[in-house]
Amino acid sequence: MTRILQVSDTHFGTEIDAVVEAVEKQASALKPDIMIFSGDLTQRARSAEFAAAKKFAERINAPVHLAVPGNHDLPLYDMFTRLVNPYRFYRKFFGPRQQVWQDGRMAVVCLDATHPLRHTRGKTKLDEARALLESARRSLGPVGLLCVAEHQPLDVKMPADIPEILINAAETAQLFAEFRVDIVFSGHVHMPLIRDTHKLFKISRHFIISGAGTAVSRRTRAGAPNSFNVVDIKDGGVTVALHALQKNGAFEIAHQAVFTRDDSGWRGA
């Protein structure tokens, strides 16, 4: 079995210390093989916030750590840095904004949908994404599991969040289908959403969307306490579990979805 821990939107600078501790302890106990940090690691892209995010990630016991930037990981008020060197602290602490990680059986393509000239909205850089997906799929072969992490989502739960969907969501979904992407990890709206893409996109092969909430930030929304997602890949099936903060201060599974694969791709049970 392979277990992926997805932590998102920590917004360090607005974190709740007790929740940080609870996530570190409980997520580590789940012994993930990979941790994916799906953007908005910091609140204002300050060096100290990135340092705190990095320490948090390092305290989570996973052999592989991957991250993508979110719109909050570029400075907002420091216009000079935003235009001249917006990703300097992201790069210093978390490395490349886009990359392919793979171990021969599965791959994770990390995509950066942010842009210094856009405030919150994301747009897939389609040519760059295609090159990364092509390289990942080539090294995996046709059946290896291909995951994507990209901060802004392909779909949202709340109608009010529709403006936060990726600007080129339909083209992005087409591209993902073309390369037989299996799971897409996103964040941004602080409202978890776990689903397949049937009834969402007209594409030749459907995939799983794992949208995560905010793991440790005070910036929670009504009906969505702090949470993280855990994806288990086993015997050809995928289970995505939403671990949400309870009143007793511990994280418990609040929702779980099981997906199986057929000729059309992935489908929720």
Residues forming contacts to Fe ion in the complex (CB under 5 A) are: 9, 40, 70-71, 188
- Least Cβ distance, residue 49 to Fe ion (angstroms): 13
- Least Cβ distance, residue 189 to Fe ion (angstroms): 8
> Radius of gyration (Cα) for the chain, nearest Å?
17
Give whichever of 50 and 259 is closer to Fe ion, judged by the CB atom.
50
- Least Cβ distance, residue 9 to Fe ion (angstroms): 4
- Least Cβ distance, residue 197 to Fe ion (angstroms): 21
Give whichever of 180 and 188 is closer to Fe ion, judged by the CB atom.
188
Give whichever of 32 and 122 is closer to Fe ion, judged by the CB atom.
122
**Taking a C-beta distance cutoff of 8 angstroms, is the pair 203, 174 a contact?**
yes
Burial pattern 178-200, b for ≥16 Cβ within 10 A else e, equals: ebbbbbbbbbbbbbbbbbbbeee
User: Sign of dihedral through CA atoms 126, 132, 133, 138?
Assistant: positive
Cα separation of the two ends of the chain? 20
- Least Cβ distance, residue 64 to Fe ion (angstroms): 23
- Least Cβ distance, residue 170 to Fe ion (angstroms): 20
Give whichever of 188 and 261 is closer to Fe ion, judged by the CB atom.
188
Strand arrangement of the beta sheet that strand 64-67 belongs to: 64-67, 34-37, 2-7, 227-234, 237-245, 251-262, 265-268
- Least Cβ distance, residue 40 to Fe ion (angstroms): 3
Give whichever of 107 and 189 is closer to Fe ion, judged by the CB atom.
189
The partner residues of 4 in beta bridges, in order of sequence, read 34, 231
**Taking a C-beta distance cutoff of 8 angstroms, is the pair 144, 179 a contact?**
no
What's the one-letter identity of residue 10?
Answer: T
Give whichever of 122 and 265 is closer to Fe ion, judged by the CB atom.
122
Give whichever of 24 and 40 is closer to Fe ion, judged by the CB atom.
40
Q: Could you give the C-alpha distances from 252 to 1, 225, 238, 243, 256, in angstroms and in order? A: 21, 11, 19, 5, 11
Q: Which helix or strand (DSSP H or E) is residue 49 part of?
A: helix 47-59
Q: How many residues does the chain have?
A: 269
